[in-house]
Structure 1
Amino acid sequence: MPKYLVQASYTAEGMKGLLAEGGSGRKAAVEQVVSSCGGRLETIYFAYGEEDFYCVLDFPDQVSMAAIAMTVRASGALHSKTIPLLTVEEIDEAAKKSVSFRPPGA
């Protein structure tokens, strides 16, 4: 299953929800929304600084991840960035592909 790293920061309203529910409540909410599209929460970490939390998710396909991202962002409770993660084996496969490329000015 494809893996994704999600980096997110709460809006003021989202942070109020975190304060009310605690980390356990938000983790349960993430697990619920992710499983609703056939995904799985691998891990979640809360942080402070520019981002408020990071999680690694498994999804059966890109469309499922996109559906979750759009729905959660539309709530206005957070701002997020989703990064596809590749395995070592996938990078090995990509490195073996023949690519026709000409750099600018060459």
Structure 2
Amino acid sequence: MPKFLIQASYTAEGTKGLLKEGGSGRRAAVDHVVGELGGTVEVMYFAFGDDDLVCIVDFPDPVSMAAVSLTVKASGAVRTRATPLLTVGEVDEAARRQVAFRPPGK
């Protein structure tokens, strides 16, 4: 299953919701939305600084990740970034593939 790193920051409205529900309430909400599309939450941490929340999630496909991302962003309560994660083996496979590339001007 494709794995993604999710980094999120709450808007003022989202922070109010977090204060009302607590961390456990938000974890349950994340588990629910990810699970509805056949995914799982591997880990979820709250943080402070540029990001308020960091998760690693597994989804059956990138389209499922995109569906969640669009829905969450449309709420206006959270700003998110999703980064696809690759295993060491996947990077090894990519390194073995031949790619014909000509840099600009060469």
Query: Which TM bucket (shorter chain)?
Result: over 0.9
**Which secondary structure does the structure 2 equivalent of 1:51 belong to?**
coil
| 1:63 aligned residue | 63
Structure 1 residue runs of 5 or longer lacking an equivalent are none
| 1:31 aligned residue | 31
Structure 2 residue runs of 5 or longer lacking an equivalent are none
The answer to whether 1:77 aligns with 2:97 is: no
- The one-letter amino acid paired with 1:60 is P
TM-score (norm 1): 0.98
> What are the Cα deviations for residues 49-91 of structure 1, in whole angstroms up to 9, with x where unaligned?
1110000000000111111110111011110000000000000
* Runs of at least 4 residues off by over 2 Å: none
| 2:89 aligned residue | 89
TM-score (norm 2): 0.98
| 1:49 aligned residue | 49
CA distance in structure 2 between the partners assigned to 1:81 and 1:63 by the alignment: 15
CA RMSD of aligned residues (A): 0.6
